[in-house]
Each structure stands twice: as structure tokens, then as C-alpha cells.
């Protein structure tokens, strides 16, 4: 299963990073880093008719290389100019060709809320996210136990970070709610076979109370998909490949919002 491979690679990376910068030092840096208000993230993800989180990623396990000429800062600037509500930055290096430094450099270039998209398995990675300038982190229910989930949500909150908790099924949604999630994302991609089904978000939406922000992630290609998700009561969408491959990102963002159609 790809998640097991991603966690194994993350454990190695974590050990390497902790040998370079000890946990106590990283935590002190996180406490000293500028803090933003998570309320700004909640507000950004509740913009009517639907908020857009645009993703900066060069590659993925399911698609291989997505952007051959990858310029993370220029991509983020195009997203920000197109009016997205938040930007997701892949920082996982092995499978997504991401880098924590992308987050750092994008932070210096745009003011929109930034999500650290990674496979967080230790509070060290939450500190790293804060130091690099993230406003929001991803926690994936499938790779954490209940204690970790609750603990990491509290640790993130103590640093002023919002948390997107990703679930794939009703049981994981219950675990996310019990852990105290304020934002729940449903990944439409089945990580066993990489098939995508937007109906997963539609089916799981009623299980999440309206006061919790609901994000639909993966496989969103065009305005019809967005219409379907908006009608189901989704608050925000996370879009990666469609925007990464678009030669005119502002036009594609506009089309996703239901504006004029994108001719790309
Ligand atoms: O995309 C993958 O292949 C993948 C494999 C294993 C774990 C996670 C994976 N994707 C992460 C994501 O959640 C997507 O990057 C994100 O939702 C955007 O999806 P898309 O719009 O389909 O690029």
C-alpha cells in the first residue's frame, strides 16, 4: 500500500532532519516564528460559493511527473493572482518531488494561507511547518492513531496553525470528529488503486456537521465537478493536477468558480 511506503520514507527523512536540527531547537524556532490567526484560515476556506485550495506539486505516485519545468514560486504567484483562497504546497520529496524550502520561498512571495501537504507522523514536522511559514497542516487519519491525532491537533493549535484532517470513510470521519477536527477533508482518490470518485465526498458530506469546514480533495477537473460538490454542501475544494497542467491558471481558476469557460 502506497501509504505504508510514504510513511517509511517519511520516517527516514524525519530521522535525517532531526540529526541535522535537534527537536528542541526546531521547537524553539517554531515558538519564535511569526504567528497568524487560524480564524483567517477558517474564513478563507468558507468563501461563497466555494473556496479553492490550489496545489503546488511537481509529481505524484499516481501520475508520475506532472510538471517538467517546475517553478513553485511562479506557480504560487499565478494562483494568488488568480484569486485562490489558499495554496497547498507538497513538501514530500521522494514521491511528490516536494521540498520544505518550497514552502519557505512561497511564503515570502504570497500572502494567502499556505498548507503544508505532507505525511506528518511526528510533532517535529508540525514545528517544521510553522518555521517554514505554513498557516495550515495536513493530518491523515489513516496513518495516525487516536492519541497522535488529538495530540497533533492540540500542538498545531498551540502554534497558531489550523489543521486539515483527511479521512477516507465513515469510520475515519468519526475519528477525525472525536479528535476535535475543525476542518475535515475527504480524499476522492482511493489510495489502494488510485481510482478517483467524487461521489465519495458527496456520500460522506452528511456525516460532517455544518460547523466543521468540509474540503473535497483530488480528481476535480472542471466546472461540472465543482457544481456537483457545491450542491452537496462542500465548503472548499483542493485542486492539484488540473491547475498544475493548465497553461493559463487564472482562466482555469475562473472556470472552476463557474466563470467563463477555460479554452485550454
Ligand atoms: O495523488 C496521489 O497519487 C497520491 C498518492 C498517495 C497519497 C496521496 C496522493 N495524493 C495527494 C493528494 O491528496 C492530492 O495531491 C490532492 O488532493 C490533489 O489531487 P489532484 O487534484 O487529483 O491532483
Give the C-alpha separation, 138 to 224, whole Å.
Answer: 27
Q: Is the peptide bond before 56 cis (omega within 30 degrees of 0)?
A: no
Q: How confident is residue 191, by pLDDT bands cut at 50, 70 and 90?
A: confident
Out of 217, 249, 252, mutate this one to test ligand 1's pocket (max ligand atoms within 8 Å of CB): namely 217
Check pLDDT > 60 for residue 101: yes
Q: How confident is residue 66, by pLDDT bands cut at 50, 70 and 90?
A: very high
Give the C-alpha separation, 172 to 153, whole Å.
Answer: 15
Domain boundaries of the chain, sorted by first residue? 2-256
What confidence tens digit (pLDDT) does each residue in 126-177 have?
999 999 999 999 999 999 999 999 999 999 999 999 999 999 999 999 999 9
Active site residues: 55, 57, 117, 166, 187, 217-218
Domain 2-256 has CATH 3.20.20.70: yes
Q: How confident is residue 108, by pLDDT bands cut at 50, 70 and 90?
A: very high
For ligand 1, the distance from its centroid to the CA atom of residue 22, given in whole angstroms, is: 30
pTM over 0.90: yes
For ligand 1, the distance from its centroid to the CA atom of residue 218, given in whole angstroms, is: 6
ipTM confidence: 0.98
Q: How confident is residue 259, by pLDDT bands cut at 50, 70 and 90?
A: confident
What confidence tens digit (pLDDT) does each residue in 29-50 have?
999 999 999 999 999 999 999 9
Residue given cell 491547475 in the structure block: 243
Query: Which of 218, 191, 6, 192 lies closest to 94 in space, CA to CA?
Result: 6
Amino acid at each position: 500500500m502506497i501509504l505504508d511506503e510514504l510513511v517509511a520514507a517519511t520516517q527516514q527523512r524525519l530521522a535525517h532532519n532531526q540529526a541535522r536540527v535537534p527537536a528542541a531547537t526546531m521547537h524553539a524556532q517554531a515558538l519564535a516564528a511569526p504567528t497568524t490567526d487560524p480564524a483567517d484560515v477558517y474564513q478563507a476556506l468558507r468563501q461563497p460559493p466555494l473556496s479553492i485550495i490550489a496545489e503546488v506539486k511537481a509529481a505524484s505516485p499516481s501520475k508520475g511527473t506532472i510538471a517538467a519545468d517546475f517553478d513553485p514560486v511562479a506557480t504560487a504567484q499565478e494562483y494568488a493572482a488568480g484569486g485562490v483562497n489558499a495554496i497547498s504546497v507538497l513538501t514530500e520529496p521522494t514521491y511528490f518531488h516536494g521540498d520544505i524550502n518550497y514552502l519557505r520561498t512561497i511564503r515570502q512571495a504570497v500572502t494567502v494561507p499556505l498548507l503544508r501537504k505532507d505525511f506528518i507522523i511526528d510533532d517535529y514536522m508540525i514545528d517544521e511547518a510553522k518555521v517554514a511559514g505554513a498557516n495550515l497542516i495536513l493530518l491523515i487519519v489513516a496513518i495516525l492513531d487516536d492519541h497522535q491525532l488529538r495530540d497533533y491537533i492540540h500542538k498545531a493549535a498551540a502554534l497558531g496553525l489550523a489543521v486539515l484532517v483527511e479521512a477516507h470513510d465513515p469510520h475515519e470521519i468519526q475519528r477525525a470528529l472525536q479528535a476535535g477536527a475543525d476542518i475535515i477533508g475527504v480524499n476522492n482518490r482511493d489510495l489502494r488503486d488510485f481510482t478517483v470518485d467524487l461521489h465519495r465526498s458527496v456520500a460522506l458530506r452528511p456525516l460532517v456537521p455544518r460547523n466543521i469546514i468540509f474540503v473535497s480533495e483530488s480528481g476535480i477537473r472542471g466546472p461540472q465537478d465543482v457544481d456537483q460538490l457545491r450542491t452537496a454542501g462542500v465548503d472548499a475544494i483542493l485542486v492539484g493536477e488540473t491547475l498544475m497542467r493548465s497553461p493559463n491558471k487564472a482562466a482555469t481558476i475562473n472556470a472552476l468558480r463557474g466563470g467563463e469557460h477555460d479554452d485550454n
